[in-house]
Amino acid sequence: RQAAFRSDIGALLEQVGTGKESLSFMKRRMRRLAAQWASAARRLHDSLRSQWREQKRILVHVGFLTEESGDVFSPKVLKGGPLGEMVQWADILTALHVLGHNLKISVSLKELQGFLGVPPGRGSCPLTGPLPFDLIYTDYHGLQQMRQHMGLSLRKHKCHIRVIDTFGTEPAYNHEDYATLHGYRTNWGYWNLNCRQYMTMFPHTPDNSFMGFVAEELNDTERLSIQRNKVDSMAVVYGKEASMWKLQGKERFLAILHRYMDIHGTVYYETQRPPEVPAFVKNHGLLPQQELQQLLRKAKLFIGFGFPYEGPAPLEAIANGCIFLQPKFKPSHSSLNHEFFRGKPTSRQVSSQHPYAEQYIGRPHVITVDFNNSQEFESAIRDIMRTKVEPYLPYEYTCEGMLERVHAYIQNQEFCAPEAPFPSANASSSWPGSPPSPFVLLPNSSALAWASNITPPSWPPLSALRLLASLEGQSCIDACQSAGLICEPAFYRFINIKEAFSGLEVQCEGVEAEINHIFPAFSVENSECGLQKDPLLFSCAGANTKYHRLCPCRDYRKGQVALCRDCL
Among 15, 17, 45, 82, binds ligand UDP (CB under 6 A): 82
The stretches of 464-507 forming alpha helices (DSSP H) are 476-482, 492-495, 498-503
> CB 87 → ligand UDP: shortest distance, Å?
5
Q: What gap in Å lies between CA 212 and CA 28, rounded to an integer?
A: 19
> CB 118 → ligand UDP: shortest distance, Å?
32
**β-bridge mates for residue 46, sequence order:** none
The stretches of 54-213 forming alpha helices (DSSP H) are 84-98, 109-116, 140-150, 153-157, 171-174, 176-182
Closest CA to 475 of 486, 462, 459, 460: 486
Q: Choose the binding region for ligand UDP from 310-318, 339-347, 480-488, 509-517 (rule: CB under 6 A).
A: 310-318
Q: Choose the binding region for ligand UDP from 46-54, 79-87, 113-121, 324-332 (rule: CB under 6 A).
A: 79-87
Neighbour count for residue 556 (Cβ, 10 Å): 23
The verdict on 135 binding ligand UDP (CB under 6 A) reads no
Closer Cβ to ligand UDP, 210 or 556, answer by number: 210
Closest CA to 447 of 511, 493, 491, 494: 494
The verdict on 240 binding ligand UDP (CB under 6 A) reads yes
Neighbour count for residue 214 (Cβ, 10 Å): 28
Tell how far CA 31 is from the center of its chain.
24
Among 308, 345, 489, 552, binds ligand UDP (CB under 6 A): 308
Site string for ligand UDP, 34-73 (x = CB under 6 A): ----------------------------------------
Residues in contact with ligand UDP, counted by CB under 6 A, come to a total of 15
Q: Choose the binding region for ligand UDP from 311-319, 373-381, 411-419, 464-472 (rule: CB under 6 A).
A: 311-319
Q: Are 367 and 384 in contact (CB under 8 A)?
A: yes
Most distant CA pair in the chain, distance: 78
Site string for ligand UDP, 278-307 (x = CB under 6 A): --------xx-x--x---------------
User: Phi and psi at residue 383, in whole multiples of 5°?
Assistant: -55, -45
**β-bridge mates for residue 514, sequence order:** 532
**β-bridge mates for residue 234, sequence order:** 262
The C-alpha angle with vertex 41 and arms to 36 and 43, in degrees rounded to 5, equals: 100
Closer Cβ to ligand UDP, 295 or 367, answer by number: 295
> CB 313 → ligand UDP: shortest distance, Å?
3
Q: Could you give the 3-state DSSP secondary structure of residue 333?
A: strand
Q: What gap in Å lies between CA 386 and CA 68, rounded to an integer?
A: 52
> CB 354 → ligand UDP: shortest distance, Å?
9
Closer Cβ to ligand UDP, 267 or 447, answer by number: 267
Closer Cβ to ligand UDP, 203 or 311, answer by number: 311
Q: Are 542 and 549 in contact (CB under 8 A)?
A: yes
> CB 89 → ligand UDP: shortest distance, Å?
12
Closer Cβ to ligand UDP, 102 or 359, answer by number: 359
The verdict on 311 binding ligand UDP (CB under 6 A) reads yes
Site for ligand UDP in 95-114 (CB under 6 A): none
User: Phi and psi at residue 131, in whole multiples of 5°?
Assistant: -70, 125
Closer Cβ to ligand UDP, 318 or 563, answer by number: 318
The verdict on 274 binding ligand UDP (CB under 6 A) reads no
Q: Are 559 and 535 in contact (CB under 8 A)?
A: no
Q: Choose the binding region for ligand UDP from 78-86, 378-386, 416-424, 527-535 (rule: CB under 6 A).
A: 78-86
Q: What gap in Å lies between CA 551 and CA 522, rounded to an integer?
A: 11
Q: What gap in Å lies between CA 304 and CA 313, rounded to an integer?
A: 10
The verdict on 316 binding ligand UDP (CB under 6 A) reads yes
The verdict on 423 binding ligand UDP (CB under 6 A) reads no
Closer Cβ to ligand UDP, 256 or 287, answer by number: 287
The verdict on 401 binding ligand UDP (CB under 6 A) reads no
> CB 347 → ligand UDP: shortest distance, Å?
22
The verdict on 266 binding ligand UDP (CB under 6 A) reads yes
Neighbour count for residue 157 (Cβ, 10 Å): 17
Among 312, 321, 423, 552, binds ligand UDP (CB under 6 A): 312
Q: Choose the binding region for ligand UDP from 52-60, 82-90, 398-406, 548-556 (rule: CB under 6 A).
A: 82-90
The verdict on 235 binding ligand UDP (CB under 6 A) reads no
Q: What gap in Å lies between CA 164 and CA 543, rounded to an integer?
A: 25
Closer Cβ to ligand UDP, 16 or 500, answer by number: 16
Q: What gap in Å lies between CA 106 and CA 83, rounded to an integer?
A: 19
Strand residues in 457-527 grouped as ranges (E): 466-469, 486-487, 510-514, 521-523
Among 32, 48, 76, 84, binds ligand UDP (CB under 6 A): 84
> CB 322 → ligand UDP: shortest distance, Å?
13
Closer Cβ to ligand UDP, 147 or 273, answer by number: 273
> CB 77 → ligand UDP: shortest distance, Å?
9
> CB 202 → ligand UDP: shortest distance, Å?
11
Name residues whose C-beta falls within 8 Å of residue 147's C-beta, 6 or more positions apart in sequence: 154
The verdict on 87 binding ligand UDP (CB under 6 A) reads yes
Name residues whose C-beta falls within 8 Å of residue 293's C-beta, 6 or more positions apart in sequence: 216, 316, 320
In the structure, how many helices (H) and strands (E) does the chain have?
Answer: 18, 19
Q: Which residues bind ligand UDP (CB under 6 A)?
A: 82-84, 87, 240, 266, 286-287, 289, 292, 308, 311-313, 316
